[in-house]
Structure 1
């Protein structure tokens, strides 16, 4: 067997991390022959809870999980990491304005970015989950100048999976028969779920989703808004956020980042823009369709973008630019 890889989960006492740990530990993400040393980071008041989590991880008795380290210290948590899954963030509380939320999270991800820069391997792969995920990820990039910015991604795979599921439910097919949906932009209510390039397997052939659904009004209306508002709908029904589906999406995202995407398929992932793709300004952390090979993502190029899509993409771009400007004021970056 290869040597263990070191994987960090932050916010490790929370419900998303709790739902995530088995998938990380049992070989679903990194492979059935890849041992793992798992590092769990949370704030000091949660260390008692983490003790119980460590007990449960031990009781899983999965052979790939070699060591579990629970800590409240960044210098311990970020040392020699191969993968960092940054789940923990400041949640939005009642009466809190978005600017206050951004300020709180800028401080968290500035500190964690600096810790990555100081302690982690320069090859570390980073997945930012904590919201606002795109801007938190950009903050971490700016705080870790010695690590390639291409090593940082944020999670929009949950939205991608939600979009696939809505199409599959509509057509009464398995979700794995729906391919190449796209989530453009921010992981927020402005995101644009785009199926104009998506296909579904029907009769052994790939059929455009628009041809299979035959309801343009729904695809440009109710479908998009359902995906945009799905997280809020889950909270309204469950009184808790989307932990199970978020954990599955983190596993999907990390597995593809580590092992690559299937030939002919792309996934949605928040990555840094170089200013040359689809009119998105330089230096925005934006969700694009990407393919991945050798642990390196590449934005899918050459897709035709119609006026409807352009309008939707512009809205989410504007929001991300405003978030970036606010965050950079707190970071004191010009």
Structure 2
């Protein structure tokens, strides 16, 4: 597909001639697409200078025409002005414009009148609406490219909420992000009031009611673990300070991407003292969805029918996969029931050996196999996992399902208060609440204690105690009395006490996640062993 951008001053006769030619080509060629940018005469010079400087182009008049190569992973290629576009169209498409000079002048005057009328109407409409400001960091990432469609369609925030989206990128990536913003505008969504690109985080997070942190902060090769934690800590702490100074007081923050995500959420809510602690979360949906899809393929059901799988622990590190409350809907068998009818995962799989071995190996290698097949990191599933979490958080899940979510602990399940930890939650009308009736075996308790120690070691790197001893999150939290006043309340749910099944552990020092055995299935496996050692450990890469 050939996509061209035609930009110019509203009163420019040469813009009128190029516009007519571009419209004819778009009408007659199915793969020819044009995006128009019309500026007021008093805005044109500054806008032209800015975009040429960013793209290292040499052009000084109206119009400015370039071809977008975003789908090929590159920035736009400059064509030039009206004459250059005429030559380009004649050479490639055998088409040209025979518009007379008098017609060019007449049409340019009409264009100016139309532009002023449209601008006045747009300003009036903007004055009547109060759009929700959304900031997305690392906006040049392919994940954000796939995320935008779901956000502006109304499926995430709501179909009656207009959006102002601010894309935050590094200065050298502004060109790519500009292409992403053009794609978003080309969707012609009635809910997208405005989309902007900036390298200034203060500007991007100004008045934001939703901030999606998607930074790629993976550990570099040969980078010491403590240096990596400090580098990430600086980024997240700076975000927290900016959010405190610029974002809306009711702002919701989603910490995703890659890196020590739980630590990131902890530092952001620590620095953003005006934001409620329950408004900073870390999604666990991607590894949770992958665990569901592995079971769905095994028993031949839709993966959406696998519910209530729990991912405990560190969303950017070690975690524990728990199937104790997991159930299956829509399964075929001798017993049928209404859509609400479900059966435990263990009963449907009916293969403890597979659950303890092959299943864990399948979950472990899924991300690697997917990346090898695509020849690039997965982005669609990651984007959907983030927006699905936001959608459930914003509007609530009507089915009452249990999901996993990195949240600030209030002390439930003996997780230290103030520590950000992935826990089982339910969503309801814009909030979440911890499910507190999950049965915790001694084996699971030991695994959770290891993950707590891992998270506390990360915090210790950022806030070392004078005597080098391990410092609990409560001690670090005492730095801010305001934060101590923020509470996260868990709500007891149900009475099911089915024990746990298996563990998944993720990267700690930049390594892969580990999957271990625990719960009744591990005891079944241990009956054939001569000792009572804990299950062996393998690894899995966790991307969210």
**What SS class does the counterpart of residue 54 from structure 1 fall into?**
helix
Closer/same/farther in 2, CA of residues 303 and 185 from structure 1, 3 Å limit: same
Report the counterpart of residue 389 of structure 2 in structure 1.
Answer: 253
Aligned to 2:490: none
Q: What is the Cα deviation at residue 321 of structure 1?
A: 2.1
Corresponding position of 1:316: 451
Report if aligned partners of 1:89, 1:105 keep a CA contact under 8 Å in 2: no
Distance 1:105 1:57 in 2: 30
Partner of 1:300: 435
Cα distance in structure 1, aligned partners of 2:362 and 2:419:
25
Equivalent pairs, count: 332
Residue 180 of structure 1 contacts residue 197 of structure 1 at CA under 8 Å; is this kept in 2? Answer: yes
- Give deviations 1:174-200, integer Å, cap 9, x for gaps: 112111111100124521111111110
Calculate the TM-score normalised by the size of structure 1. Answer: 0.92
- Quick check: 1:12 aligned with 2:139? yes
SS at match of 2:184: helix
Query: Aligned partners of 1:318 and 1:230: how far apart in 2?
Result: 27
Paired residues of 1:188 and 1:228 also in contact (CA < 8 A): no
Q: Which residue of 2 aligns with 1:266?
A: 402
Three-state SS of the structure 2 residue aligned to 1:169 is: helix
Retained in 1: the 8 A contact 2:261–2:282? Answer: yes
CA distance in 2, matches of 1:305, 1:242: 33
Instruction: From the CA coordinates, give the structure whose radius of gyration is larger.
Output: 2
Is the Cα contact below 8 Å between 2:312 and 2:322 reproduced in 1? yes
Equivalent of residue 223 in structure 1, options 359, 365, 385:
359
Equivalent residue number for residue 151 of structure 1: 279
- The answer to whether residue 295 in structure 2 is matched with residue 167 in structure 1 is yes
Distance 1:67 1:96, change over 3 A: same
Partner-residue secondary structure (3-state), 2:165: strand
Identify the range of structure 1 (219-228 vs 104-113) with the bigger mean alpha-carbon deviation. 219-228
- Please report how far the alpha carbon of residue 263 of structure 1 lies from its aligned counterpart in structure 2 after TM superposition: 3.8
> Match of 1:137?
265
Q: Does 1:39 align with 2:39?
A: no
**Could you say which residue in structure 2 is the equivalent of 1:242?**
378
SS in 2 for 1:319: helix
Gaps of 5+ in 2: 1-127, 466-474, 480-544
Unaligned runs of 5+ in 1: none
In the alignment, structure 1 residue 214 sits paired with structure 2 residue 350: yes
Q: Matches of 1:145 and 1:270 in 2, distance apart?
A: 19
Bigger mean CA deviation after superposition, 233-242 or 282-291: 233-242
Match of 1:73 among 190, 197, 200: 200
Change in Cα spacing, 1:51 to 1:94, as seen in structure 2 (3 Å) is same
Tell me, in whole angstroms, the C-alpha distance in 1 between the residues paired with 2:365 and 2:168: 30
Deviation of 1:24 (Å): 1.0
Q: Map Cα deviations across residues 290-310 of structure 1 (whole Å, 9 max, x no partner).
A: 112232211001111223433
Distance 1:171 1:248, change over 3 A: same
Is 1:103 aligned to residue 230 of structure 2?
Answer: yes
Conservation of the 8 A alpha-carbon contact between 2:400 and 2:427:
no
1:268-315 Cα shifts (integer Å, max 9, x gaps): 11000112x112122211111111223221100111122343343333
1: CA distance, partners of 2:322 / 2:442:
13
TM superposition shift of 1:259: 0.6
Measured in 2, the distance between the counterparts of 1:225 and 1:299 equals 29
1:19 aligned counterpart, secondary structure: helix
Separation of aligned partners in 1, 2:406 and 2:441: 22
The counterpart of 2:246, out of the listed 119, 139, 146, is: 119
The 1:85–1:188 alpha-carbon spacing in structure 2 relative to 1, beyond 3 Å, is: closer
Please report the RMSD computed on the Cα atoms of aligned residues, expressed in angstroms: 2.2
Q: For 1:234-281, what per-residue CA distance to the aligned partner results, in whole angstroms no more than 9, with x for missing partners?
A: 445545333111100001110011011224312111000112x11212
Is 2:187 the partner of 1:60? yes
The answer on whether the counterparts of 1:27 and 1:33 sit within 8 Å (CA) in structure 2 is yes
Asked if residue 28 in structure 1 is aligned to residue 152 in structure 2, the reply is no
8 Å CA contact 1:183, 1:287 repeated in 2: yes
Report the TM-score when normalising by structure 2.
0.58
Higher relative contact order (CA 8 A, sep 6+): 1
Query: 2:42: which partner in 1?
Result: none
Structure 1 residue 217: Cα displacement? 3.2
- Please give the secondary structure, in 2, of the residue aligned with 1:278: helix
CA offsets, 1:65-110, max 9 Å, x none? 1100111112211111110000014332222233222111111111
Q: Distance in 1 between matches of 2:463 and 2:372?
A: 33
Determine if contact 2:278/2:407 at 8 Å carries over to the other structure: yes
